[in-house]
A and B are shown apart, each in its own frame.
Chain A
């Protein structure tokens, strides 16, 4: 029987420094308007050189706990997703826990890049049955990898830094995690990768062709599993990879793009953090409605992709 795991809430953190398209365009040799037209991005945030992935993650976690009315001592397990860890090991999860004042609870790092938070959300359902309160944190310092080596215009324009968090609980919450589907396919491992020495390499046409098909297919799959249809879903909270991709996923599902919450214009693609930053921002103006559903979806290097359904509870 599927554990009755609930979403208590979300949180986020983005660095203070705003980087405009004009600044990025000046560095990579393109027009600000072109960046916006191919991505929907207007600006993004960059962390300071001494601001770590763990510190950003801890800041998002604190914001999440505050918004949920929870304390760090409530947490039984942390799932920490990132693709931009400063070291091969340790991954930043245990350091983020230490910054939260937690030095004994287990932490699992998910080194998955963009799909990390979606996978964590799906995995948290079963893990919550054991650990009661599971804190998901996703943090990325993409500026450290896209600007570290020779600049590729097509990747440098896309990415930003930030962190998101979600608290999953067996005790209380606003939405039941009702179903999930997860997929991985290593056939495309070479089409989106960050090697040990960098730089980030992305075969854009393959990534877009595959993601524009795989994301809607995963969403249809999880909706079928939970006996729902796309037209009955209130909101879609998706990895903020590219505004043009979000629009095409909406078209493929036959729903209006307005039901896909989008904040990529402000933060760019923050990889694994983007879905939870979007969820945190979404939850400041919207909320789960009893009996109504929200679909989360993600896609990233690997390729890894999937979708999760959450249904509001009274």
Chain B
């Protein structure tokens, strides 16, 4: 039986491009679910760079109170977080 993965949404694809742009691993190809920090795709400073790059890509301002690694754990988590931020007019 063939397992079909849900295709990435447009936003998830954009997030993935941002993640690859700040990744320590040149060949990184993270799925939506992979944990970016735990898998070594981004390190602590990569997380900071990721936040800056997400703000630029999606034209949002991420408040300091949301700067927790858990909000940027995976592409899927980032997607959910950005959806919330955009809905609140961030």
Proximity string of chain A (229-256) to chain B, C-beta cutoff 8 Å, 1 when within and 0 when not: 0000000000000001100100010000
Let me know if B64 and A248 touch, CB within 8 A: no
CA distance A206 to B69 in the complex (A): 7
Interfacial chain B residues near A38, Cβ < 8 Å: 43
Q: Given contacts A214-B64, A248-B48, are A209 and B43 in contact (CB under 8 A)?
A: no
Nearest B residue (CB) for A212: B48
Chain B count of residues within 8 A CB distance of the other chain: 14
Nearest B residue (CB) for A242: B45
Nearest B residue (CB) for A187: B65
Task: Determine whether A205 belongs to the interface, using a CB cutoff of 8 Å to chain B.
Answer: yes
Interfacial chain B residues near A290, Cβ < 8 Å: none
- The SS class assigned to the B binding surface is helix
Task: Determine whether A204 belongs to the interface, using a CB cutoff of 8 Å to chain B.
Answer: yes
Chain A count of residues within 8 A CB distance of the other chain: 17
Let me know if A245 and B64 touch, CB within 8 A: no
Most buried by B among A212, A217, A244: A212
Number of residue pairs A-B, CB distance < 8 angstroms: 38
Task: Determine whether A123 belongs to the interface, using a CB cutoff of 8 Å to chain B.
Answer: no
Nearest B residue (CB) for A185: B64
CA distance A100 to B47 in the complex (A): 46
Task: Determine whether A149 belongs to the interface, using a CB cutoff of 8 Å to chain B.
Answer: no
Let me know if A244 and B67 touch, CB within 8 A: no
Let me know if B47 and A210 touch, CB within 8 A: no
Q: Given contacts A205-B37, A209-B51, are A245 and B45 in contact (CB under 8 A)?
A: yes
Proximity string of chain A (175-216) to chain B, C-beta cutoff 8 Å, 1 when within and 0 when not: 000000000000100000000000000001111111011100
A-B pairs, 4 with minimum CB distance: A205-B69, A212-B48, A209-B67, A208-B44
* 7 CB < 8 A contacts A-B: A187-B65, A205-B44, A209-B47, A209-B51, A210-B67, A213-B67, A217-B64
